[in-house]
Amino acid sequence: MGDSRETFGPNAFVTGYPVKHSRSPLIHGHWLRTLGLAGSYRAHEVSPDDFPTFIAALKNGSSGFVGGNVTIPHKETAFKLADRPDDLSVELGSSNTLWLQDGLLHATNTDGRGFTVNLDERHPGWDRTGRVVILGAGGASRAIIQAVRDRGIGEIHVVNRTVERAQELADRFGQRIHAHPMAALAEAMRDAGLFVNTTSLGMDGEAAPQIDFSPLAKNAVVTDIVYVPLKTPLLAQAEEQGFAIVDGLGMLLHQAVPGFEKWFGKRPVVDEALRAIIIADMEKH
Ligand code: ATR
């Protein structure tokens, strides 16, 4: 027998290309179940060519969805096609969360919020530093730069293999952002209280470069947005060198909260039971 709750209530999606690896259905499915809410959340693969038609059907109500999450490669197009992107999305040029409200398609980007709420939970006080180092200058880096800047951190140093991409972000996000090539990593790290890896280095068990974290402030925290494995090679190195570490799984979980509340009307909580579900799924694959 199917789940009768899916027959009623709002329907939401996660779309990407591909989307089958997304763990968002597990997260939202857990919340729907534990909160006892009617509704559904499912993965819905849409190719880039078909994406505008999908959004048109969402806007005119014929898709049957009230909104959803958008992942790679649709975040920029979702932002462009939304009727009411919020200020965070406008500055980033990308949206990961969509919802219909009064017949208009609203959009926001919750990645940066997911990042800061995870750190608040796992390492409260992380924002007392005046200096943060962010490795990488891709889409994830942007959202984190924005969120860390909006927290009021004095200096944000973005270090990237292709320094031009880091410079673009410095130009976009304002005077407190500084761009550096990889060769300047040690110097950029000096006395920083937070080190963030936003690159794919060390993902899925791939080898990562050795990093000497000793230039960081003594009480610094090191975090990685990669969460497979949970303890990435960079986090393992940082821990061995005596630094506090925070894994990236919480960012994934916390970025999901605002969307769920928009679509299903209740604010869910990120708890250990949810973490355990995702960790068990990671161990299966
Ligand atoms: P995302 O949107 O997920 O952040 P992305 O836009 O592809 O992904 O960005 C990936 C980041 O990882 C970039 O900062 C990239 O550096 P470049 O801008 O120089 O390409 C970085 N990256 C990926 N592989 C890397 C490697 N082997 N060494 C150093 N940096 C790497």
pLDDT in tens, 251-271: 999 999 999 999 999 999 999
Residue 144, exposed/middle/buried by CB under 10 A (0-12, 13-18, 19+)? Answer: buried
Binding site as annotated, residues for shikimate: 22-24, 71, 96, 111, 227, 255
Q: What is the pTM of this model?
A: 0.94
Question: Domain of 13: which CATH number?
Answer: 3.40.50.10860
Q: Could you tell me the two tokens for 37? A: 């809410």
Residue carrying the six token digits 């796992």: 122
Q: Are residues 208 and 86 in the same domain?
A: no
Q: Are residues 52 and 98 in the same domain?
A: yes
- Pick the atom of ligand 1 nearest to 162's CA: 19
Q: Are residues 266 and 147 in the same domain?
A: no
Residue 121, domain extent = 112-248
CA of 283 to the centre of ligand 1 (A): 26
Question: Domain of 127: which CATH number?
Answer: 3.40.50.720
Q: Are residues 116 and 243 in the same domain?
A: yes
Mean pLDDT within 117-129: 98
Q: Are residues 120 and 226 in the same domain?
A: yes
Residues with CB under 6 A from ligand 1: 136-141, 160-162, 165, 198-201
Alpha helices in 233-271 (DSSP H): 233-240, 249-255, 257-264
Q: Are residues 121 and 102 in the same domain?
A: no
Nearest alpha-carbon partner for 224 in 244, 212, 240:
244
pLDDT of residue 204: 67
**Would you say 55 and 25 are in contact if contact means Cβ atoms under 8 Å apart?**
no
pLDDT in tens, 37-91: 999 999 999 999 999 999 999 999 999 999 999 999 999 999 999 999 999 999 9
Q: Is 266 a catalytic residue?
A: no
Q: Are residues 85 and 31 in the same domain?
A: yes
User: Average per-residue pLDDT in the chain?
Assistant: 95
Q: Could you tell me the two tokens for 219? A: 């009480």
CA of 165 to the centre of ligand 1 (A): 10
pLDDT in tens, 12-36: 999 999 999 999 999 999 999 999 9
